[in-house]
Amino acid sequence: MITQIPQLISEPIATYKLRNILASVDTMSCPHKLNFHLHTVYSDGKMQPEDLMQQAIAMHLSNLAITDHHAIAGYNIAKQYLGHCISQSSNPEALPTLWSGIEVNASLIFTEVHILGYGFDPDHEAMQPYLQGKTTAGLDYQAISVIKAMHLAGGLAVLAHPARYRRSPEELIPAAAALGIDGVETYYGYDSSDPWKPSPRQTEEIRQLAESNGLLHTCGTDSHGFKINKRL
């Protein structure tokens, strides 16, 4: 029997693995098992990528993604750091799996939203407009273009925090589903509570909308501070 060690996953083949992980997400998944929404100093966060990974390892996370805004440098540094930890560990199976991630501004039914990308190839040409550290414009700014780019690069696209926008989740989620989005950030702490926990009312509303539109669920703390288990 071959023992599988943690991987630094970004290749297209990872899509199937990632779908299986997200299919199991529930209200208890985040922040102590999974965290698919984290920021570093390479966008608007305060953590160095190495510090973020140290916390993820100490917390025994199984899967995580760094989702800096329009930037991949934090992920690349964390990937290198985790690779070093794997090479030095006597128990690499216990280390987390780090997925490529990003958060992209986009227009969905004339509303600016954020779309999270996971498991994509950062070197794929389709993703390059979204890795320049700033919001795109024109056709690249349209949600359909962002979703298509993430899919072409072998990844999944997820609507971030659907209850934080000018339009309601009831409007945005079906519209995103119609464009081929894969999931929604169902479990999110809208009140920035400490300790972090998903907001019950919004979670139930979004969970039902996701289910009725055949979408996957994700969860994340949206950390911008010095701790990955809370938002600020």
Q: What is the pLDDT of residue 108?
A: 98
Could you give all domains of the chain from N- to C-terminal order, each with its CATH number? Answer: 8-219 (3.20.20.140)
Closest CA to 117 of 108, 106, 107: 106
Q: What is the pLDDT of residue 6?
A: 60
Separation CA 149–CA 144 (nearest Å): 9
Separation CA 189–CA 78 (nearest Å): 25
Separation CA 141–CA 66 (nearest Å): 21
202 touches 190 (CB < 8 A): yes
Dihedral (CA of 2, 8, 9, 11) sign = negative
**Angle at the Cα of 29 from the Cα atoms of 84 and 144, rounded to 5 degrees:** 85
What letter does residue 92 receive in the DSSP assignment? G
216 touches 186 (CB < 8 A): no
Dihedral (CA of 40, 43, 45, 46) sign = positive
Q: What is the pLDDT of residue 117?
A: 98
Q: What is the pLDDT of residue 192?
A: 83
Q: What is the pLDDT of residue 12?
A: 57
What letter does residue 222 receive in the DSSP assignment? -
Cis peptide before 195 (omega within 30 of 0): yes
Under-70 pLDDT residues of the chain: 1-13
Question: How do residues 98-133 score in pLDDT, each as one tens digit?
Answer: 999 999 999 999 999 999 999 999 999 999 999 999
What letter does residue 140 receive in the DSSP assignment? G
Beta strands in 79-182 (DSSP E): 97-99, 101-108, 111-118, 156-159
Tell me the one-letter amino acid at 166: R
